[in-house]
Chain A
Amino acid sequence: MEPILEVKDLSYIYSAGTPFEHKALDQISFRIHRGEFIGVIGHTGSGKSTLMQQLNGLLKPTAGTVLLDGRDIWSDKQLTRQARFRVGLVFQYPEYQLFEETVYKDIAFGPRNMGLDEGEVDRRVREAAGFVGLTEEQLQVSPFDLSGGQKRRVAIAGVIAMEPEVLILDEPTAGLDPLGRSEILGNINAYRRAKNATIMMVSHSMEDVARLTDRLLVLNGANLVMDAPPEQVFTRAEELVDMGLSIPQVTQVFLHLKKMGLDVDKVYTIDQAAEQMMRFKGGNAHA
């Protein structure tokens, strides 16, 4: 299968040629296929946010290429603009970008920039609002009257309304309470299922990425150090800790149980843990 996004030998240097020169990405290569859910983890300053901005053509690579459906997004102006719409990027704390008088108008900003007709804009706004669980009445209020979590969902809807094939989110749950977090993650999954979209999510929550993603990209000091499914990444716990990252709590507990001599498998999610415990209990009952 052809990858939807392909990154080849991508390097990016901030303030090149000045004393403040700083290498943010160093020769990074990877491929993303349609429908995948990719997690991106890495310590603060490892280049995650820079990488995200490369993928939709906001930053131009110092070296290397970004291919969208096999075509270099920087090869012509029209393609760069297309990439902005086909690869939707939700920044950190996206609620700070809201500006319109009503929620409806703010969500419509992206689709209007795409040059769609009013009917199509209306359909997309309502559909996007549905994905993030905004009600009809909420569409007509000022976004500044909403709560923090609701503002965040409006901002995410603003990107979803462009119906991007690849949706990239930079720490979408940062600073939200547990209920807000699980709602946002649920919204993202709803969009993914409905549109068979590709999702790429930067997160500091090992639990979230272990539970949701198919594949993890681990960045450390401007380099891509791991590119594997979560269960493989989390077997390298010591390396992760050295990079200032960690493994899910439940994995830690089960690693400890194993050390204590219990015959358990490696576990990455709560569901797996529950299954193991049931099996254990059942096994004991038979013995």
Chain B
Amino acid sequence: MLKDITLGQYFPGNSVIHRLDPRTKLIMVVVYIVALFMAQSWVGYGLMFLFLAWVVCISTIPPKAILRGLKPLVMILIFTAVLNLFFTREGTVLVDVWIITITTGGINRALMMMARILMLICGTFLLTYTTSPIALTDGLESLLGPLKALKVPVHELTMMMCIALRFIPTLIEETDKIMSAQKARGADFENGSLIQRAKALIPILVPLFISAFRRADELATAMECRCYQGGEGRTKMKLLRYRRPDFAAFGCGAALVCAVAVLRCFGL
């Protein structure tokens, strides 16, 4: 069913990773991505993998959940791997038929790209799995704070993001309900040609859009009733503060980047 979608779903827990300041986690993801792109050898990738595995381990997120989240990305992975396989001309030529040339360099490159994308996605999944959407937008707002000086409406943007995230489960539930109601009137979503199936979506999309607009309108009214007026002079119930584990995390991140940089200097 639709409810089984787990893209970027929060897994409540109480591990060190869960308790980190959301800003720390956001910064660490950026650091991790930088380190990942600096690594250029299997040794470097091995180091990155060990780091990732260690963090997954202490986050108490079941590895199965992360692997399940990767499923929708299989096509992209295969596509990237195939492109790299055919268009890299390095090393010994293994196959050379018609326009297809496969080289050892190509195989190496394809595998590396796959490893890089996999680790990239797993790392970012870890962020959304261990951080509630509210904490995430809070952290983002705080990190983007300096942009307010440039008249960027940071608070409004993060508020929009927060509301969007909040309404995903609601809209999924709504879709389920409307689908059942139209099925009860004999709508058929599974059979027929591609065009027929696209047309069959109209009875779902129209009510869904109407209900989304209605909800947005009601929410806006409710917010105004409570005198919401944006970020100006607004205080927070949960103040963000860096604590000891956060500094430890920054230390680990710095160590990781240094290690990868050193490996790079040695050509590894």
Contacts and interface: CB of A to CB of B under 8 A. Distances in A.
Interface of A: 15, 53, 56, 58, 81, 84-85, 88-91, 94, 96-99, 109-110, 113-114, 144, 158-159, 162
Nearest to B3: A15
A97 B185 CA distance: 10
A197 B162 CA distance: 49
A114 B187 CA distance: 9
A162 B186 contact: yes
Contacts of A144: 210
Interface of B: 3, 177-178, 180-188, 202-203, 206-207, 210-211
Contacts of B177: 91, 96
Contacts of A98: 207
Contacts of A53: 180
Contacts of A15: 3
A99 B203 contact: yes
A22 B188 CA distance: 28
B181 A97 contact: yes
A246 to B, nearest CB: 28
A96 B211 contact: yes
A59 to B, nearest CB: 8
A115 B186 CA distance: 10
Contacts of A56: 184
Contact of B207 (A58, A84, A97, A110): A97
A110 B186 contact: yes
B210 A58 contact: no
Given A97-B178, A114-B186, 4 more contacts: A96-B181, A96-B210, A97-B207, A110-B186
9 contacts: A15-B3, A58-B184, A84-B184, A91-B177, A94-B181, A98-B207, A113-B185, A113-B186, A158-B185
A182 B183 CA distance: 28
A99 B207 contact: yes
